[in-house]
Amino acid sequence: MDLDEQKIAQELHLMAREARPVDAHVYASRALVRSGRRRLSWSLAGLAVAAASVVGVVLPASGGKDIAASVHELPDNTPEQVKLIRDCMPLGGPVHEMDSRKRIPEHGKVGDFRVLAEYRDDVGSTALVGSTAGFVLCTPQKNPNFADRPVFTYWGYAPPGDLEAGLTGALTVDAYEVQTDSHAMRDDDQSGGSYRVVAGRVTSDVRRVEIDWAGGRRAAAQVNNGFFVGRVPAASVPGPDDGLGGMVVDSPDVTVTAYGEAGEVLGQRKDVKFLTAGRTGSETGTAPVGAGGPGDDAPPAEDGRAAPSPRLS
C-alpha cells in the first residue's frame, strides 16, 4: 500500500507550528484527505496518535473523571512550576472562596494544573495557573500568612469549562482582580503588598498584549502560548461611606489591547471592570469580563456584576 509520507509529515509539522490546542482526529482527517491517496497503510486512529505525539495533545480518556481529561493537554510544568502550584494549593487543589480550609474536589487537584503564563517584576510574580476546565491566580509569598485563597474560575465562567469556552475573538479577558504579594511589604509595615492583576487568553497570531491601567499607566503583559497575565502595584483609597470605614484597593476600569506581528490591533477590551464573578466556589456561572467582539467595549452580562474593591485591614 502506498503512503505519501512527505505530505503526512508536512501536516504534522503544521500542527506543531500552530502551537494551539487542537483535535488530533480533525488534523489526522485533514492530512488523509490532502494526501490524495485512497489506500494508506496507516489507520486514522494510528495517525491521530502520531499527531498527538508531535504537538502534545491527548485523545479523550474513556470514563475518566479527572478534570484534565480532554482532547487537549496543557504544557508540562518544570520542577519549579510544580512547586509553585503546590505552594499555591496547600490542600491539594482549589478551595472555597470564603473558606481556605474547604477544598472543592470537583475543581481539580494540583496535578491537573499548569503554569500558563507568569508575570515577574522587581518585587515578585503572579502566575495564571490553569487546567483544561478553569484557572487560579497564584502569587508566591515570603510570608505564607498573606497568601490569597486558591479559588477556581471556570473558563467561560460556567461549568464544565473548556479552553474554548467564552472566547471573544483574538483577545479574551478572564480575570481582573487583586493579589497580595508579601514581598512588597516592609517588616515594620504590612499594610501594602496589593497588586492589580489582569489575565486571559489570546489567539496564536497575537504577539503582544498591553494593559492601560488608568491614570496614565500602561504596561505590557507577559504572553505565553495563548495566555497572558500582567500586574501593577495597587493604590489604596478611602472606602465608601457605608459605616465600615477603612481603606479599599483602588480598582479603576482598564483597557486591554492585543497586537499582531506588524503592530496591528487584533483585539481590544475597553472599560474592563474589576470583577470577581465566577470565583464563588459554587456552580453559578457568569459571562467573561468585557465580553464582545474585537474593539468592543460591551459591559459584562447582567449577572457578571463588578464586585466591590477589597478592603484593607
**What distance in Å separates the CA atoms of residue 199 and residue 273, rounded to the nearest whole number?**
13
Report the distance separating Cα 275 and Cα 251, nearest Å.
10
Q: Which three cell numbers stand for residue 148?
A: 490569597
* pLDDT number for residue 13: 45
pLDDT tens across the length of the chain (313 residues): 454 555 554 554 444 444 444 444 433 444 433 333 333 333 333 434 344 433 333 333 333 333 433 335 688 999 999 999 999 999 999 999 889 999 999 999 999 999 999 999 999 999 999 999 999 999 999 998 899 999 999 999 999 999 999 999 999 999 999 999 998 888 777 677 999 999 999 999 999 999 999 989 999 999 999 999 999 999 888 877 766 667 788 899 999 999 999 999 999 999 999 975 444 333 333 444 443 333 443 333 333 334 444 544 4
Cβ atoms of residues 117 and 199 within 8 Å? yes
Contact 179, 185 (CB under 8 A): no
Contact partners, residue 237, CB within 8 Å, separation at least 6: 247, 248, 249, 250
For residue 134, what are the CA distances in angstroms to 160, 203, 254? Answer: 9, 17, 23
Q: Enter the pTM of the model.
A: 0.69
| Alpha carbon distance, N-terminus to C-terminus of the chain | 74
The number of residues in the chain equals: 313
68-104 burial code (b ≥16 CB/10 A, e <16):
bbbbbbbeebeeebbebbeebbeeebbbbbeeeeebb
Could you tell me if 157 and 288 are in contact, meaning their C-beta atoms sit under 8 angstroms apart? yes
The grid cell for 66 is 479527572
Please state, in angstroms and rounded to a whole number, the distance separating the CA atoms of residues 45 and 24: 9
Q: d(Cα 105, Cα 297) in Å, to the nearest integer?
A: 36
| DSSP type of residue 94 | -
Strand order in the sheet with 247-249: 236-238, 247-249, 311-312
Beta bridge partners of 214: 217
CB atoms within 10 A of CB 301: 14
- What's phi and psi for 64, nearest 5 deg? -75, 145
Taking only Cα atoms into account, the Rg of the chain, rounded to an integer number of angstroms, comes to 21
Distances (CA, A) of 125 to 39, 138, 194, 260: 54, 9, 12, 25
Q: Are 281 and 258 in contact (CB under 8 A)?
A: no
Q: What is the model's pLDDT at position 238?
A: 82
